[in-house]
Structure 1
Amino acid sequence: MNDTPSMKKNFIYNTIYQIILVLMPFITTPYLSRILGSKMIGIQSYTESIQAYFLLLANLGTSVYGTREIAQHRNDVHERSQLFWEIELLSIFTSTISLIGWIFLIIMNSRYQVYYIAMIPHFFATMFDISWFYRGLERFRLPVTQSIFFIILEFIAMILFVKTQSDLLTYITILSTSKLFTSLSLWKYLQQYTIKINFRTLKFEHHFKQTFCYFIPTIATSVYTILDRTLLGLFTEDSSQNGYYFQSEKIINVAKSLSSTAINSVVGVRISYLFSKNKIAEIQQRINHSLNYILFMSIGSACGITVIAHNFVPLFFGEDFIKVEYLLYILCPIIIITGISNCLGSHYYTPSGRRIQSTIYLIVGSVINLVLNLILIPSFDAFGAAAASVFAELIISILYITNSNGYMTFQLLIQSGWKKLLAGIIMIILVYPLGLKMININKLFLILLQSILGIIVYLFILLILKDNWIILYTNKLFQKIRRIL
């Protein structure tokens, strides 16, 4: 396979997928919030956080490592076939070990036992997930289309079978089986991209060592993305606190997906290939372009959520989740902060093979987050967990930038971001008060009005400030319009 996959097409596929991921919570969350309530949502959040540790062990870093290895050997069909089976069989082995541990947990723990049983298909989904192989080949269409298909089926099943608060078990079962079928569906295309190999020649020791290097930073990352919910479940008697935090995270994660996930996934794979060819100038150019895009989207998203949160939360989640509004105010900076760190992680540290270096920074941030959680959660519940996460993410981003060997600098960050940040602040100052004053207007109409005005103000201020990135793409847009006319 010597053809170069289209980055534009891959970006479109990934963007479509991210849009679907964005739209589905906007459809399902209001329904589930009102049907299940904050306590049941809290139970789901806590049990998912417990399983997440076992799934991390099951994956053992093979997803990120596998994508990188396939990307670097994509033009050699024998080498990539050999790599696929070595990495996939290793994944099956680690997933089996993790599943045994999960079964032991079920036997020993009677609390939430029935929900833990319903989550078992998740392990087989991880075991047979080969989406990393297609991402390494930059064939994003296959995993994206299959994922979208099963997301739609998952939604239909939820509407048909989740009707009351007692249907949490049904909902968890739907989620886990959907993930399993998504993973299995990708296997039917495998023979198009691999050849038969001699299984006696397979070697696993090297891959185990390498995946373990990827596993450590994943664990470190998870300390502040999963442990928050685990500690909330352990230190607070009210499961609703977990429900509030879980729902606020959903909104933040949607914004993060729109802001950076699509471009990081696509460009990160291409940069792995460029590092193997030592094309340093092109790597720097792509990092700069990605950073501008991520700052534009993440600052706009963070400020936009701040503007509409007051009216959005009660309309979207219901009155039972009113505390989510204040959690969103605390968590919004994470959209910008993680956009920067994830850009460096996917564009520099991972493709250049510096995972051990990034692991150290992640561990530092994770320890800080853990300590702050232990101090803040007993007194401030979900608000303490939110504040701890923001501070930990900030420390990690600072460490990432400081040690990126010039691929990203604070000077570059300020040059690329200050106009966007100023535009976002002006947007908040001008548009946020409307949500407090226009109390007699329909909430949905008011949210739409604030959103549209916010976008207009944000773009208008950027044009006035002559932000280089927005000017560049405005000119490109006008050029395309002229060609059409």
Structure 2
Amino acid sequence: MAQSVKVNYILNLINTGTQMLFPLITFPYVCRVIEADGIGQVNFFNSIISYISLFTCLGIPMYAIREIARDRNDVVKMNRTATEILLLHSMLTIVGYVIVATLCLLVPKIQVNIPLFLILSLTIFFTAIGCEWFYQGIEDFKYITIRGLIIKTISVILLFIFVKSKADLLYYGCYMVLGVLGGNIFNFLRLRKYIHRENIIFSELHIKRHIKPVLKVFSFSVVTSIYLQLNTVLLGFFKNALAVGYFTAATKVMQMLLQMSSCLGSVMMPRASHLLAENKESEFNNLIQKSYDFTLAIAMPITIGLIFCAPSLITTLCGVKFANSILPSQIIAPIILMVSIANVFGIQVLFPKGKINIVTLSCGIGAIVALVLNLSLTPLFSYIGTAVAYLGAEVTTTVSMYYVGRKYIPIQYFKQSHLNYLLGCAIMALVLFAISRFQLPSFYELVLQGCCGVIVYFLILCLRKDSILMQLFAKMSKC
């Protein structure tokens, strides 16, 4: 029995919180030990591995969540669907490792550190056996949260034990893989609880039926990856590992904050797919409107916070050697708002409705913009140009998704409550700017900005009697 969206959101928020907390502990340590060029090399290799993993996944994770969510009330059908998808992914993984071996033999920049490249390539294997899509499809977020917390705790302890200097780059590579995907081993073993052998008749499995719909999702994944991974790849080829390190620090901070505003998407997508499969259109529309309102309430202040807190945040987390990461961090801050809105449009609405072509077209337009801006700006302006290209791609994608798919999106875009968020953000921005003028040590400035920013935004919403906040207070009073 699937739990409520609220319970799933809380569980996913806990999981997301730990995903933010652990990097807040580990990233400052890694920045000081591995330094910018070491981090740059790892992330350059990781970007290449991500492209290989993209082709071996072939759009399976997103497609599989929807299919499992639709079939979860029919155990036999769900078992067969899961087995077919797992077999397809396994075959593609073999092809992926042929590509890995070929790159090791032919690409000089990879031959600089082949052991590190091979360690990072374990991501491909762990992704294949992980079946994270299965647990998201059946909305087993309790297991995902508990497993993630245990694995992250163990991996962080091992990081501090084994990574002591730049010479320990291979150990850091192991942490990058095991810390993120090590728990996938348990995912695979736990499938026995849900997939029963008596429900699987191998002669009746039809792997080919998934290829066409998976390719549609894959085309979406390809165009999205152009501006998610190509930024780092092109920066690494045009410049050097140091430039990649500065850009990585900027994007790392942004992505940690982005998780807070976008974690609702992984909860909403299987639930939205299930509601549409049962023809509960009105419930679906109501759920999406609440999701959009909540997303704006969270993403807008986080975006403003990063713009004004970037100097103290980067210096505190990464050290003064990463001061060059401050400006790109401020440039890409609006991506938090853009991606959060695009997740509502694309992942929560258009994809469950089967309008993946609209999402792909919008991302394709963004990918073209990303490619043009990267080729134009990165050779001249290094990581600053890459940051501008990244922002341009995300803005273009979100705007395109709105214009192309708006007739399918049941959302009231401008409400009175949205003005509350704008007012709260404006006053919060003034407070954060005033605090930055005091020129406090970076840590104390960050703590003061964080506390004051949250309090000011919260008080403004209280004074304006914001609907989301009032509903929350009403439910708390009943407890």
Q: Which TM-score bucket, shorter chain as reference?
A: over 0.9
**Equivalent residue number for residue 251 of structure 1:** 253
Alpha-carbon separation, structure 2, partners of 1:468 and 1:158: 44
Q: Write the mapping of 1:333-482 to structure 2, written as runs, cut at 5 A.
A: 333-406=334-407, 408=409, 412-413=413-414, 415=416, 417-437=418-438, 439=439, 441-474=440-473, 476=474, 480-481=476-477
Give the aligned partner of residue 120 of structure 2: 119
Could you tell me which amino acid in structure 2 is paired with residue 241 of structure 1? A
Distance 2:226 2:32 in 1: 30
Contact 1:95 1:126 in 2 (8 A): no
Deviation at 1:151, TM superposition (A): 1.4
Tell me what 2:75 maps to.
77
CA 1:471–1:404 in 2, change beyond 3 Å: closer, same or farther? farther
Quick one: distance in 2 between partners of 1:119 and 1:252?
A: 23
Does the 8 A contact of 1:125 with 1:179 survive in 2? no
CA contact (8 A) 1:287 1:407 kept: no
Distance in structure 2 (CA, Å) of the matches to 1:251 and 1:120? 24
1:396-440 superposed Cα distances (whole Å, 9 cap, x missing partner):
111222233445479614655333123212211222221222x2x
Which residue type is aligned with residue 68 of structure 1? R
Alignment of 1:42-61 (within 5 A): 42-61=40-59
Q: Is the 8 A contact 1:244 1:321 kept in 2?
A: yes
Amino acid at match of 1:251: V
Q: Do 1:313 and 1:324's aligned partners in 2 also have CA atoms closer than 8 Å?
A: yes
Question: What residue number does 1:313 align with?
Answer: 314
**Equivalent residue for 2:230?**
227
DSSP-derived class of the 2:195 partner: coil
Identity value in percent: 27
Give the C-alpha shift of residue 180 in structure 1: 5.3
Retained in 2: the 8 A contact 1:77–1:195? no
Q: Which structure 2 residues correspond to residues 179-190 of structure 1 after superposition, within 5 A?
A: 179=180, 181-190=182-191
Give the equivalent residue in structure 1 for 2:92.
94
Displacement after TM superposition at 1:178 (Å)? 4.6
Q: Distance in 2 between matches of 1:206 and 1:98?
A: 22
Partner in structure 1 of residue 152 of structure 2: 151
Task: Measure the CA separation in 1 of the matches of 2:234 and 2:14.
Answer: 35
Match of 2:241 in 1: 239
CA contact (8 A) 2:152 2:179 kept: yes
Quote the Cα distance in structure 2 between the aligned partners of 1:332 and 1:417. 20
Quick check: 1:252–1:328 contact (8 Å CA) kept in 2? yes
- Measure, in 2, the Cα distance between the counterparts of 1:367 and 1:25: 32
Q: Which residue identity lines up with residue 261 of structure 2 in the other structure?
A: S
Cα distance in 1 between the residues matched to 2:379 and 2:59: 33
The two structures have a TM-score, normalised by structure 1, of 0.93
1:194-252 CA distance string (max 9 Å, x none): 2221111111111011111111111111111110000100111x321111111111111
Gap runs ≥5 in structure 2: none
Cα distance, 1:56–1:434 mapped onto 2, change above 3 Å = same
Q: Following TM superposition, by how much is the alpha carbon of 1:450 offset from its aligned partner in structure 2, in angstroms?
A: 1.5
Change (3 A) 1:38 1:211: same
User: Quick one: distance in 1 between partners of 2:465 and 2:8?
Assistant: 30
- State the alpha-carbon separation in 2 of the partners of residues 473 and 7 from structure 1: 15
Q: For residues 49-75 of structure 1, what are the alpha-carbon distances to aligned partners after superposition, in whole Å with 9 as ceiling and x for unaligned?
A: 111100101111111111100100101
The one-letter amino acid of 2:63's match is Y
Once the two structures are TM-superposed, the CA of residue 318 in structure 1 deviates from its matched residue by: 0.7
Indicate which of 49, 60, 63 corresponds to 1:62.
60
One of 15, 18, 25 as aligned partner of 1:17: 15
Alpha-carbon distance in structure 2 between the residues aligned to 1:272 and 1:287:
12
For residue 179 of structure 1, report the CA deviation from its aligned partner. 4.8
| Equivalent residue letter for 1:399 | S
Moved more, 263-272 or 141-150: 141-150
Looking at structure 1, the residues matched to 29 and 20 of structure 2 have their Cα atoms a distance apart, in angstroms, of 15
Unaligned runs of at least 5 residues, structure 1: none
TM-score by length of structure 2 reads 0.95
Amino acid at match of 2:61: S
- Name the SS for the 2:146 alignment partner: helix
Do the aligned partners of 2:296 and 2:418 also contact (CA within 8 Å) in 1?
yes
* Contact 1:333–1:390, Cα closer than 8 Å, also in 2: yes
Cα shift at 1:473 = 2.9
**Structure 1 pair 341/416, CA: closer, same or farther in 2 (3 Å)?**
farther
Change (3 A) 1:357 1:312: closer
SS of equivalent residue, structure 2 residue 245:
helix
